Amino acid sequence: MNKARLIPVFFPGRDADFDKQVERLRGLLEDVATIEAPVALGGALPDADAVVFPQMLGDAYRMVDAIRALPYPRLIITSEFGTMSMWDWEIGSYLRTEGIETIAPYNLDQAKKICRALSARTALRQSKFVVFQDNPGEGFQAPIFKRFYWWE
């Protein structure tokens, strides 16, 4: 199974706590996600499945436009348990009122499920499906269901 590719994003004033949390996330999510090199908020992002905020600071209130401009889903995983720290709910709520969607797991299992879903989303975007049914449309107007899309 492919792992989700997460880019840690940091606010100005990156510190040792940020780096410590990134290392914790690498350990907690190692079976479902690859944590890439951190990038400053507003910096150029490599290809990824999502960005993750390992640390939320008051700068988030002043950098709403930079957060809104992020092209990937935004995860907030700020606790050592793989969840959002309880005092970060206020920033998450503020971002939501500004129309910015974030994903903040309530437990480690939920964080892992989110990572698996992000990985599956990427895999599905790169996949094609062929569907064949032996006798579709057994009812009204059955002949229209017996056509193949490439014949039309």
Pick 136 or 56 by higher pLDDT: 56
In a domain, 138, yes or no: no
In a domain, 83, yes or no: yes
Question: Facing residues of 89 across strands?
Answer: none
pLDDT tens track for 12-35? 989 999 999 999 999 999 999 999
SS3 state at 11: coil
In a domain, 88, yes or no: yes
pLDDT tens track for 85-141? 988 999 999 999 999 999 999 999 999 999 999 999 988 888 877 766 555 556 566
| pLDDT score at 124 | 85
In a domain, 108, yes or no: yes
For residue 39, count other CB atoms closer than 10 A to its CB: 16
In a domain, 74, yes or no: yes
pLDDT tens track for 65-82? 999 999 999 999 999 999
Residues 17 and 148: their CA atoms lie apart, in Å, by: 57
| pLDDT score at 49 | 96
Give the CATH number of the domain where residue 86 resides.
3.40.50.280
Q: What is the DSSP letter of 143?
A: H
Q: Which of 77, 37, 36 is nearest to 53 (CA)?
A: 77
Indicate the number of domains in the chain. Answer: 1
| pLDDT score at 132 | 60
pTM of the model: 0.81
Residues 91 and 66: their CA atoms lie apart, in Å, by: 14
Asked if 89 and 95 count as a contact pair (C-beta separation under 8 A), the reply is: no
In a domain, 144, yes or no: no
Q: Which range of residues forms the domain containing residue 98?
A: 4-125
